């Protein structure tokens, strides 16, 4: 497999990528890395239909046929790698009832045994009664190993993992620890089976040191610590009540400023960038549109893949694909797979039923 990868690399390195069309460039770059094109990346699992980062969310994404299961990596107080998105457990668990005195504490303040006491399913039933299921009550936080178990759990479906080091400065050494776990599980042998991602350039550099052969993606955003915005007006100053509407107006200060971030990506050895998207319907996961055609062209010109986060609707799939992206983070893998004419035999409801949820 390694030899095959090297051979492919050598051949493709000689290909005049600049002579290919924009779409052709992205495809060639993806194939060079062993990454599906266009890639379906199940954001926190199939997190529209099941509570994010839980077993049913990842099982559903796997059975739907997503190319990658996405997860946000953090570490428990006793050193176990877990999949949790937020800095705290308040939004997606009953931590306020279980550990009221520590309800605002970071994930790292809890041992794995404590984390496993939390119910990370019931919040979803309350927030989305139309998608609620009684079997979601009492769902548990997943360790990295448990997500790997799910990814390996159906020989007919073999999703990869798309792993984000989340707030990595809070977890010194997490990059080396991640490498050790992936290596122990035999996940570093197949090119493109794992993709690593971070907003944090230092973490990407550490990931490069630890796993130079594993593709890495620099996540892009606008504002604080990210791409300098054209407008210096903050959300608070804008008088806007809807954050998505505020983000949707944000533009990079200049093309040069956008390019600076692509150059950061190249400098840390990243093979791609993960820009934010503005969603047509707005909402909490709608950010600045950093996947505009000119931006994607620039990325491809610098031989960087583009995986955009996070869109769920047909209209947005069509828009970002027309803009030239190479893959999409989505909470609705089923929708995206249908958009790409890759439907599963069963729909989301049938799969959850079949899996015992
Ligand atoms: O990892 C891509 C995307 O997930 C980044 O945003 O906040 O959902 O982790 P977030
Ligand atoms: Ca993420």
pLDDT in tens, 205-226: 999 999 999 999 999 999 999 9
Q: Which ligand number lies closest to the CA of residue 83?
A: 2
Nearest to 161 by CA among 140, 180, 178: 178
What integer pLDDT is reported at residue 22 of this predicted model? 79
pLDDT above 70: residue 2: no
Atom of ligand 1 nearest to the CA of 85: 9
Mean pLDDT, to the nearest integer, of 60-88? 98
pLDDT above 50: residue 13: no
Give the Å distance between the CA of 112 and the centre of ligand 2. Answer: 21
Give the Å distance between the CA of 312 and the centre of ligand 2. Answer: 15
pLDDT above 70: residue 247: yes
Residues 10, 152: Cα–Cα separation, whole Å: 30
- Going by pLDDT thresholds of 50, 70 and 90, the confidence category of residue 33 is very high
* Active-site residue, from 85, 300, 307, 339: 85
What integer pLDDT is reported at residue 1 of this predicted model? 37
Q: Which ligand number lies closest to the CA of residue 331?
A: 1
Mean pLDDT of the chain: 95
Of 21-35, 77-91, 147-161, which gets the smallest average pLDDT? 21-35
- Going by pLDDT thresholds of 50, 70 and 90, the confidence category of residue 18 is low
Catalytic: 37? no
341 burial via Cβ count (<10 Å: 0-12, 13-18, 19+):
exposed
Residues 342, 139: Cα–Cα separation, whole Å: 29
Give the Å distance between the CA of 292 and the centre of ligand 1. Answer: 18
- Residue 272's beta-bridge partner residues? 217, 305
Ligand 1 pocket test: pick from 224, 274, 276, 284 the residue with the most ligand atoms within 8 Å of its Cβ: 274
Question: What is the pTM for the complete model shown?
Answer: 0.95
Residues of the chain with pLDDT > 70: what percent? 95
- Going by pLDDT thresholds of 50, 70 and 90, the confidence category of residue 4 is very low
- Going by pLDDT thresholds of 50, 70 and 90, the confidence category of residue 9 is very low
pLDDT above 50: residue 3: no
Write out the E strands in the chain. Answer: 39-42, 68-75, 81-83, 142-143, 160-165, 194-198, 216-220, 272-275, 305-308, 327-330
Bridge-based pairing of strands 81-83 and 68-75 is antiparallel
pLDDT above 90: residue 74: yes
Token pair of 148 as six digits: 């790997």
- Residue 220's beta-bridge partner residues? 275
Ligand 1 pocket test: pick from 68, 196, 219, 333 the residue with the most ligand atoms within 8 Å of its Cβ: 219
Mean pLDDT, to the nearest integer, of 95-106? 98
Residues 65, 264: Cα–Cα separation, whole Å: 33
Give the Å distance between the CA of 61 and the centre of ligand 1. Answer: 16
What integer pLDDT is reported at residue 6 of this predicted model? 39
Mean pLDDT, to the nearest integer, of 314-340? 98
Task: Give the residue carrying structure tokens 């694909």.
Answer: 321
Q: For ligand 1, which residues put their CB under 6 angstroms from it?
A: 43, 70, 72, 85, 164, 197, 219, 274, 309-310, 329
Catalytic: 43? yes
Q: Which ligand number lies closest to the CA of residue 195?
A: 1
Strand, helix or coil for residue 248: helix
């Amino acid at each position: 497999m390694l030899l095959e990868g090297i051979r492919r690399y050598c051949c493709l390195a000689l290909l005049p990528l600049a002579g290919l069309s924009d779409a052709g460039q992205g495809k060639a770059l993806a194939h060079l890395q062993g990454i599906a094109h266009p890639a379906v990346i199940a954001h926190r699992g199939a997190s529209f239909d099941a509570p994010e980062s839980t077993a049913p969310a990842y099982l559903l994404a796997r059975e739907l046929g997503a190319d990658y299961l996405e997860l946000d990596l953090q570490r428990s107080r006793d050193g176990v790698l877990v999949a949790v998105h937020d800095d705290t457990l308040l939004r997606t668990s009953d931590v306020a009832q279980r550990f009221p005195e520590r309800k605002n504490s970071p994930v790292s303040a809890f041992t794995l045994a404590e984390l496993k006491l939390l119910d990370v399913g019931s919040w979803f039933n309350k927030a989305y009664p139309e998608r609620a299921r009684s079997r979601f009550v009492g769902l548990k936080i997943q360790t990295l190993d448990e997500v790997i178990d799910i990814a390996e759990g159906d020989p007919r479906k073999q999703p990869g993992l798309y792993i984000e080091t989340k707030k990595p400065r809070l977890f010194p050494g997490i990059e080396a620890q991640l490498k050790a776990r992936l290596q122990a599980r035999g996940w570093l042998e197949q090119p493109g089976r794992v993709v690593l991602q971070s907003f944090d350039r230092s973490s990407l550099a550490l990931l490069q040191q630890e796993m130079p052969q594993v593709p890495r993606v620099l996540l892009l955003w606008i504002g604080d610590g990210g791409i300098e915005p054209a407008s210096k007006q903050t959300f608070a100053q804008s008088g806007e009540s809807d954050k998505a509407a505020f983000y949707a107006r944000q533009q990079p200060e200049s093309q040069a400023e956008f390019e600076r971030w692509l150059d950061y990506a190249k400098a840390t050895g990243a093979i791609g960038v993960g820009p934010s998207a503005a969603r047509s319907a707005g909402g909490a996961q709608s950010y600045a549109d950093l996947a505009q055609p000119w931006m994607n062209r620039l990325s491809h010109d610098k031989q960087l893949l583009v995986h955009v986060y996070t869109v769920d609707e047909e209209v947005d799939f069509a828009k970002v694909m027309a803009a030239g992206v190479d893959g999409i983070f989505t909470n609705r893998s089923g929708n995206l797979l249908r958009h790409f004419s890759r439907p599963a035999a069963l729909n989301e409801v049938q799969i959850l039923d079949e899996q015992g949820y």
